[in-house]
Structure 1
Amino acid sequence: PGDPVATPIVAKINELFAVDAEAREQSLSVEARHRLRQQKAPERLEKIKAAIEAAKPGALPGGALENACEYAIGIWPRLICFLAYPELELSNNQAENSMRPVVLGRKNWIHIGSPQAGSKVAAILSVIETCRRLKLSARDYLSAVLPGLANTRLQRLPNLTPTAWAAQHQ
């Protein structure tokens, strides 16, 4: 039981997630996952988009289904960017789950001061959480990267992300 329109769309989306599950089960490299996605994802994406576009005209105006369809179609280019960037995950659940303690602790951190400070705290926590996900000592990473950061050329910044730094130092 479920929504007769949304349930088949969700099933099609799950087929897309199955492609990445296959890559994980086979412990594929980023390059191999990219090839697998290029092989299997475009057809699935076409079916998903077609199903969403077909569902929209029959949706209740202003209803949840219509809003969901409009949202998905409106951000479609961002939804499919994982095809060009194989290091991206299909879902941001891991990132959202890692930020949950931040959201829960927000009232305790009222002293942060301003909206600008909030975005800086979010960036710092993102770096810390990425280090934790990579099983990388945040202290070691920050001790190595921060001292020379001010004198680093923009072109080198991608080499200083926790992911790139870990690959170079492990």
Structure 2
Amino acid sequence: MIGKLCGLERAYQDSTPEIRYQMRQEKAKPVLEKLRHWLDKTLPAVPLTTLLGKALNYLHKYWSRLTIYLEDGRLNIDNNIAENAIRPFVIGRKSWLFSDTPRGAHASAKVYSVIELAIHKNDKTLNWE
């Protein structure tokens, strides 16, 4: 069901927020209702100590955060933009251990900031105005 939701988002990614909102109400909302029904039925039957139980409990706990994207066509179903933005820093943090001086570390941070800004300045999904 999650794959179906992501497929809908991919199919409408170039649409206006208004069209995405309509699609979500007509197509995504019924999928989420089906998923919620399955979750409510399955969660009590699965021990919380199992991996599936932990996953279902997580889904139940954060359900409102998962479904908030239905309310606005400008919202994304996931946080991939933020995850991709911090990836270079996560990957580079071990390299920073080898900065010889605080000035070198600050210089590296400035270079990373400029590079990230240049990369994301061309990202059409972000509003730079």
TM-score where L is the length of structure 2: 0.72
- State how far apart, in whole Å, the 1-side matches of 2:62 and 2:33 are: 15
Q: Match for residue 135 of structure 1?
A: 122
| Preserved contact between residue 17 and residue 72 of structure 2 (Cα < 8 Å) | no
1:163 aligns with 2:115: no
- State how far apart, in whole Å, the 2-side matches of 1:131 and 1:67 are: 40
For structure 1, which runs of at least 5 residues remain unmatched after alignment?
Answer: 1-11, 114-120, 137-161, 166-170
* Closer, same or farther: CA 55–131 of 1 in aligned 2, 3 Å: farther
Q: SS at the partner of 2:73?
A: coil
Q: Match for residue 56 of structure 2?
A: 69
- State how far apart, in whole Å, the 1-side matches of 2:45 and 2:22 are: 36
| Preserved contact between residue 16 and residue 41 of structure 1 (Cα < 8 Å) | yes
Q: Match for residue 29 of structure 1?
A: 16
User: What are the equivalent positions in structure 2 for 1:8-27 lying under 5 Å apart?
Assistant: 12-24=1-13, 27=14
- State how far apart, in whole Å, the 1-side matches of 2:68 and 2:121 are: 23
User: What are the equivalent positions in structure 2 for 1:86-97 lying under 5 Å apart?
Assistant: 86-97=73-84
- State how far apart, in whole Å, the 2-side matches of 1:29 and 1:133 are: 21
Percent identity among equivalent residues? 30
Which of the numbers 9, 31, 36 marks the counterpart of 1:49? 36
TM-score where L is the length of structure 1: 0.56
- State how far apart, in whole Å, the 1-side matches of 2:28 and 2:96 are: 42
Q: CA deviation at 1:79?
A: 0.8
| Matched residue count | 116
* Closer, same or farther: CA 72–130 of 1 in aligned 2, 3 Å: farther
- State how far apart, in whole Å, the 2-side matches of 1:130 and 1:51 are: 43
* Closer, same or farther: CA 131–83 of 1 in aligned 2, 3 Å: farther
For structure 2, which runs of at least 5 residues remain unmatched after alignment?
Answer: 103-108
Q: 1:50-100 CA distances to partner (integer Å, 9 max, x unpaired)?
A: 112222122233111111111111111111110112212112234323322
| RCO comparison, higher one (Cα < 8 Å, 6+) | 2
Q: 1:115-159 CA distances to partner (integer Å, 9 max, x unpaired)?
A: xxxxxx8xxx6xx757634517xxxxxxxxxxxxxxxxxxxxxxx
- State how far apart, in whole Å, the 2-side matches of 1:80 and 1:130 are: 30
| Preserved contact between residue 134 and residue 163 of structure 1 (Cα < 8 Å) | no
